[in-house]
Chains A and B, each alone.
Chain A
Amino acid sequence: MVRLITHNLLACHAKGCTSNNFPLQLKDVQVELRDAEYNADFLRGFISRIEWPALVDAARQLGDTSLPNEPPEMMDDDFLQKLHHVLLEIHIEEGAMICPNCAHVYPISNGIPNMLLAEHEIG
Chain B
Amino acid sequence: MSRPEFQAPPEIYYGDTEAKKYTNNSRIQQIQADMTYRALELLSLPSDQPALLLDIGCGSGLSGEILDEEGYNWVGVDIAPSMLEVALEREVEGDLFLQDIGQGFGFRPGSFDGAISISVIQWLLNAETSHPTSSPPHRLTRFFTTLHAALRNPSRAIFQFYPTSDDQVQLITSIAQKAGFGGGVVVDYPNSNKARKVFLCLFVGGGGGQQVPKGLEVDAEEDDARVKFEKARERQRKRDKSGKRKSIKDKDWILKKKELYRRRGKEGVPNDSKFTGRKRKATF
Contacts and interface: CB of A to CB of B under 8 A. Distances in A.
Interface of A: 1-3, 5-6, 9-13, 21-22, 36-37, 39, 41-42, 45-46, 49, 51, 88, 110-119, 122-123
B156 to A, nearest CB: 17
B96 A10 contact: no
B6 interface: no
Given A45-B50, A116-B131, A22 B98 contact: no
B113 to A, nearest CB: 9
B100 A116 contact: yes
Contact of B96 (A1, A37, A39, A49): A1
Contacts of A42: 50, 73, 248
Contact of B103 (A39, A111, A122): A122
9 contacts: A9-B75, A9-B108, A13-B146, A39-B50, A41-B49, A42-B73, A116-B79, A117-B100, A122-B142
Interface of B: 49-50, 52, 73, 75, 77, 79, 84-85, 88, 93-100, 103-108, 110-111, 131-134, 142, 146, 248-250, 253
Given A42-B73, A45-B49, A3 B95 contact: yes
A10 B107 contact: yes
A114 B96 CA distance: 10
Contacts of A113: 97-98
B211 to A, nearest CB: 25
Given A1-B88, A113-B98, A115-B97, A123 B142 contact: yes
Interface of B is mostly: loop
B96 A111 contact: yes
Main secondary structure of the interface of A (DSSP, over half): loop
B134 A11 contact: no
A17 B210 CA distance: 33
B111 A9 contact: yes
Most chain B CB atoms below 10 A, which of A110, A112, A117, A123 = A112
Contact of A116 (B85, B88, B99, B108): B99
Contacts of A2: 95, 97
A13 to B, nearest CB: 3
Contacts of A5: 52, 73, 95
Contacts of B94: 1
B83 to A, nearest CB: 11
Contacts of B249: 37, 39
Of the listed residues B50, B84, B131, the one surrounded by the most CB atoms of chain A closer than 10 A to its CB is B50
A12 B106 contact: yes
B251 to A, nearest CB: 11
